[in-house]
Amino acid sequence: MRRLNILLFFSLMTVAAQAQFVNNGATVTIQAGATLKVEANFINNLGGTITNNGTLEVQNDFTNAGTFNSGSSSTLKFIGDSNSNVTPGEASPGVPTTFRNVEMAKTNANITLQGPAAISGNLTFTNDNNKVIIGNHNLTINTGGAVVSSDANEYVVTNGTGQLVKGLDANGTIVHEIGDLTNYTPVSSAVTGTYASATLGARVYTTSMQAKYNDATDYINREWLVVASGITSYDNTITGTYADGDIVGTEALIKGSSYHSPSPDWKFINSAGNATLNTVTARAINPSPFDVKLSGQNFFGKANLKAYLAGALPSGTTMTTALNSILPTAQTPYTAAPFNAPSLTGLNIVKPATATDWILVEVRDASNPATVISQTSGFILNDGTIVSYDNQPLRLKNAVASGHIALRHRNHLAIRTASPINLVEPPTLKDFSAGTSEAFTNGAITSNANMRQIGSVFAMWNGDINQDNIIRYLPLAIPPTPSDVAIILTNALSGNASSSLNNVYNIHDVNLDNKVRYLPQAIPPVPSDSGIILTGPLNGNASGSIRRHL
């Protein structure tokens, strides 16, 4: 076999190959301190061996099909102002060639990987406006290596399935200097765990992203995939930097969200957004598998709530579904005053088969419960469970990580939590029906409890038709205020006490049986809505009243 040794003994000595360099089987050694400059293509064919202990400069394409060895202080340097394709080759089947140090010294030009590659030292950007485009191939920076001098014009482009992979062996923050062809959008990972030949890979993309929630109106059109291996007790707080052009809606409402298993869903653990820095942050704790997607959208709190409406629960623990067939499915009934909830126009409302009615869920400030942070319309099922408008587990748009929950209904007195609750998953059950201690009690109100007891459960008081927070059978003289019973007669029935409304979805329907009546029906015996107020909440005391504890 022909053997060629290039021995360059002086650190300033340079050998220039002005045509392309082609090795067809020889053994070539670049000595420490020496430079071999190739001003065209560099080709090491099958059977050839290159040992680089100095500096190899390549202006055009780099192709290795043979053996390429890199010494401990060697550098592979890409120069010139034209794009280059880089085929690293393999050290052994399935194992990419490892370079020691790689220097990107091109000007206004890029290199594109044609196969996976590894770097045991540093990838250094020294000139302006040059990028490493990896396509569908991984570029691995081994433990101890680094990417040096990346910025908005010099970085690794993940324009395919390939990842920038970094080795790690200790807790710390790993930065992946990545972006698309036009935007530098790096991602950092604050990782803790136990490591065994561990790696952390990342790529960023703006197409084929994980679908965000349908009701997300404020979000970014960008997503990062972070993939770990060799880590146990894996915990990662991930921060991605997005571009201004990624923003849809109101930037201040965009928070970080991570998508991973178990229970594949968007998660908002340690969710944060910083519009000044163009960053979103979210945390992944022991995902399985270790594939985590990060993006940004409205913060959606999670809550597992149970409550009863007294009007729909004459007894037992199952509410009526008499309204189910006529429940509105084009819009929530809570968009108008005094509720003023966000519209659901354009969203896919899915009515559950066991829905009793719509209900409004409010998130209120943890330290000042009078301050409403967000409102969410959902369905309350006949077993008391509350779900979102699309019959999915309840999510609370533009919520906070911890706050009070208030429940409001069209003709029932509202209730709220006595203490703030965690609104980040996994949500534990908050069961208002378990007792009066589950809801806030206003010490100034001594005439009635915060909820009405029906058998062994507790329910929201029914009969507040005019939503003035008081249930009354008789009007108040000072100030002059009509009673809820009078409102049934004057507003719903136009003053005709013997008339009724049937098969209606109407706020005056106190017991939610799809009928409005001022007088009871004798055949069959059916109580009137006015009678229900008197005999139910007021327990026969026409001069009494029930007041809201919220």
Q: Are residues 294 and 396 in the same domain?
A: no
- Tens of pLDDT along 500-520? 899 999 999 999 999 999 887
Q: Are residues 455 and 503 in the same domain?
A: no
Asked if the model's pLDDT at residue 20 lies above 60, the reply is yes
Mean pLDDT taken over the chain: 94
Q: Are residues 186 and 283 in the same domain?
A: yes
* Local structure of 252: helix, strand or coil: helix
Q: Letter for the amino acid at 477?
A: A
Which residue range is the domain that position 409 belongs to?
301-459
The mean pLDDT of 29-55, rounded to a whole number, is 97
pLDDT given for residue 14 in this prediction? 54
Asked if the model's pLDDT at residue 431 lies above 90, the reply is yes
Q: Are residues 225 and 168 in the same domain?
A: yes
Q: Are residues 138 and 256 in the same domain?
A: yes
Q: Are residues 284 and 234 in the same domain?
A: yes
The reply to whether 169 falls in a domain is yes
Q: Among candidates 100, 94, 93, 92, which has minimal Cα distance to 118? A: 100
Q: Report the distance separating Cα 16 and Cα 38, nearest Å.
A: 6
Phi/psi for 176 (5° steps) reads -105, 115
Q: Report the distance separating Cα 83 and Cα 61, nearest Å.
A: 8
Q: Are residues 262 and 172 in the same domain?
A: yes
What is residue 6's DSSP assignment? -
Q: Are residues 250 and 340 in the same domain?
A: no
Number of domains in the chain: 3
pLDDT given for residue 531 in this prediction? 87
Q: Are residues 119 and 168 in the same domain?
A: yes
**Which tokens sit at 30?**
């670049």
Cα of first residue to Cα of last residue in the chain, in angstroms, is: 91
Q: Are residues 495 and 387 in the same domain?
A: no
> pTM for the full model?
0.91
**Which tokens sit at 386?**
């509350």
The reply to whether 480 falls in a domain is yes
Q: Report the distance separating Cα 487 and Cα 490, nearest Å.
A: 5
Q: Report the distance separating Cα 129 and Cα 111, nearest Å.
A: 12
- Tens of pLDDT along 264-280? 999 999 999 999 999 99
Task: Report the greatest alpha carbon distance in the chain.
Answer: 113
- Tens of pLDDT along 114-145? 999 999 999 999 999 999 999 999 999 999 99
* Local structure of 491: helix, strand or coil: helix
- Tens of pLDDT along 254-263? 999 999 988 8
Q: Taking a C-beta distance cutoff of 8 angstroms, is the pair 290, 228 a contact? A: yes
